[in-house]
Amino acid sequence: MGSEVLALFCGLAAAASFGTSDFCGGFVTKRIRVFNVLLLSQCVAFAILFGFALTLKEPIPSWNNLLFGGLAGFFGTAGLVALYIGLARGSMGVVASVSAVVGAVLPIISGILIEGPPSGGQVLGLLLGLCAIWYLAGGGAAAPVHLRELGLPIMAGIGFGFFFIFIDQVSETSIFWPLAMAKGVAITMILVVVCVRRQMVPVRWNPQLLIIVMAGIFEAAGNIFFALASRMGRLDISTTLTSLYPAGTVFLAWLILRERLVPRQWFGVAVALVALFLIAS
C-alpha cells in the first residue's frame, strides 16, 4: 500500500511538473521561436538529468535500456513537434485534448496487457480520468471538429504514449541515465530541425531566458516523477495521473494570466478528483 500511495503522489507531481513546464514554454513561445525554446529547455533538462546521474553515481545501464531511453526521446520529441505544429494550425482545445487522451490510452492498453487488468474501481477511475483529461484540456467545444484536424494531435498523442511506455521499460533498473539519453536524442533531433530551417538565434540573457530555464527544470522533474511513479505502481494508472498535466497549465493561466476557466474545465477538475479517489481506493 505504501508504494501505491507514493506512486499516486509521484504521478500527480509529474502532472504538476509537466503542466508548469508547458505553461512556461507556451508563455515564452509568444516572443521566441518554438524550436529555439524547445532546444534550450531540453538542454537544461539534459544537464539536470545528467548531473543527477553523475552525482548519485547511478550505474550505467545496459545498452538495451539506453536504447529504450533513446526511443523514448525520439517519440517524445516527435510528439512535441506534432503538438506545437497542431497548436499553431488548429483549435488549441481540440489539439491539446486529443493528444493528451491518445497519449494516455496507449500506455493504459500496454499496462493492462503486461500487468493484467486493475480492480473494478480503478478501471472506473481510469475511464473518468480520460474524461477529465479531455475537459481539462479544453475539449468538448461546441464547434464541429473536422477529421483533417485530428491528424497532428493523434500523432502527438502516439509520440507521448510511446514515450511513457519506453520509459516504463527502463525505470525498473535505472532512472537518470535513460532519461538523459532521451533528452540527448531530443536535443539532436531539435538541433537538426533548427539548423535545416536556419532559425537558430544567438542566446542573450533576458527575463524570457529565465522562463525557458524554468521550463527545462520542470520538464526534468516531470520525467523523474513519472519514472518513479511507473516504477512503484502500474503503468496505466501512472500515465493517467501524469496526463492530467493540462490541469497545471490551466491553473497557472488562471492564476498568473487571469485567463477565465470555462465551465467544462471546472467540470474536468471535479471529474479528476473523483477519478483520483477511485484510483487510490
pLDDT tens figures, 182-218: 999 999 998 888 788 776 656 566 778 899 999 999 9
Helix 235-242, helix 207-232: angle, nearest 10: 160
pLDDT at 73 over 90: yes
pLDDT digits 0-9 by tens, 125-147:
888 888 877 777 665 555 555 55
pLDDT class of 178 with cuts at 50, 70, 90: very high
Cell 503522489: give the residue: 9
Q: What is the pTM of this model?
A: 0.85
Amino acid sitting at position 189: M
Closest by CA position to 42, among listed 225, 231, 207, 179: 179
Q: What is the pLDDT of residue 148?
A: 64
Residue 74 near residue 187 (C-beta atoms within 8 A): no
pLDDT the model gives residue 66: 87
**Alpha-carbon dihedral of residues 279, 150, 92, 249, nearest 10 degrees?**
20
Mean residue pLDDT across the chain: 82
How far lies 127's CA from each of 120, 121, 124, 196, 276, in Å? 11, 10, 5, 42, 11
Alpha carbons 153 and 92: distance in angstroms, whole number? 10
Q: Contact, 134 vs 18, CB < 8 A?
A: no
Instruction: Please state which of the ranges 34-48, 167-181, 252-266 shows the lowest mean pLDDT.
Output: 252-266
